[in-house]
Structure 1
């Protein structure tokens, strides 16, 4: 056989005669399909992790607002703009998200180094490209910002008089 098309043609002839045949191309396609399925599963796990982290950031920001109600009231009384108060919480959320992204990236790099040691028979090596690392940290920051929008809006609506009276 001189080329791949000959192999595929002969494999088809053998299959049509009722016999079973399995070529390296079939095996390669099976591996590719399994790889896509694994990537899909990992993507789904990542999406769930991002959702959970967004909920945690929103909860953390809500707790921060609840604990700092008096501070927010004082800021309003001294004339701090609503945008500045909102921005304060959004920046905190952004920092929280970026730090979480950096922590997650560190775990990813650790797993990248540890997995080949644990599974030394595996020939596949995982490499995290620099653009993906930067994009992952940036995406974590964006998710945290989005999750903090509602808590920041809540902070802007707090009545200064009621806030100052809270203990």
Structure 2
């Protein structure tokens, strides 16, 4: 009895299958989710960008890195569109990363990973206001390439315009 073998215990009955309340429906790609990925080589760096468009949400990732170094994914923010007809600032929050410290400062602020801090939240707010969608945004630009954050945002805005994502007022 001390060796804890199966011989010492009565075998438990095999459980009966339980009817699953969830219904899984196969669905073919309907165009509800679309991914757009591109990169731009600029002097001294490569800017990578990805926009994932869903029905009522955008996921935007921007990463920049010097040649030979992979871009990272660290700072993440989310913004919601304001109430219909509201001209106020859309509500936003930082999900991962240092927060909006850099957004309140005139200078680029470095976070613990050496990236421009607070670039994701303002970009998410601006995109949420213009698209009327929930926007999850991650801008990851090294401090030495801080000017590329604005360049990358312009590229994302141009792509969103190409895709017809901006609300007409």
TM-score with structure 1 length normalisation? 0.24
Larger Rg: 1
Q: Compare the two structures and name the one with the higher strand fraction.
A: 2
TM-score with structure 2 length normalisation? 0.24
> Which structure would you say has the larger RCO, counting Cα contacts within 8 Å and 6 or more residues apart?
1
